[in-house]
Amino acid sequence: MAKPDNRADNVEHLQQATENTLKNLGEAEDYLNEFSSEIGSEERERIEEKNERRRHSIEGFREEIKDEAAYSQE
């Protein structure tokens, strides 16, 4: 039997995921700023691409938070 849909803590989980992703994004940017002269172009490109995916994820998390918040007010 399927579990009932419990969305009570979805916003909290999404907010935590957003915070973690923002932290990782900031740490990667700090790393690039500090070690840009010491890392190769492939590593720099890999980090920049990953940060771009992080930015898209953050946008998605924020949209989901809005949706979940609206759902919980219904």
In the chain, the number of structural domains is: 1
Residue 4 belongs to a domain: no
Structural domain includes residue 51: yes
pTM, to two decimals: 0.83
Q: Determine the structural domain holding residue 64 and report its residue range.
A: 12-73
The reply to whether 33 falls in a domain is: yes
Indicate the range of 3-7, 16-20, 33-37 predicted with least confidence. 3-7
Distance CA(64)–CA(61), nearest Å, equals 5
Helices and strands (H, E) in the chain, number of each type: 2, 0
Judge whether 3 lies within some domain. Answer: no
pLDDT in tens, 28-62: 999 999 999 999 999 999 999 999 999 999 999 99
Sign of CA dihedral 38, 40, 46, 51: positive
- Residue 41 in any domain: the answer is yes
Q: Which amino acid is at 50?
A: K
Computed on alpha carbons and rounded to an integer, the radius of gyration of the chain in Å comes to: 17
At 27, list the tokens. Answer: 């740490």
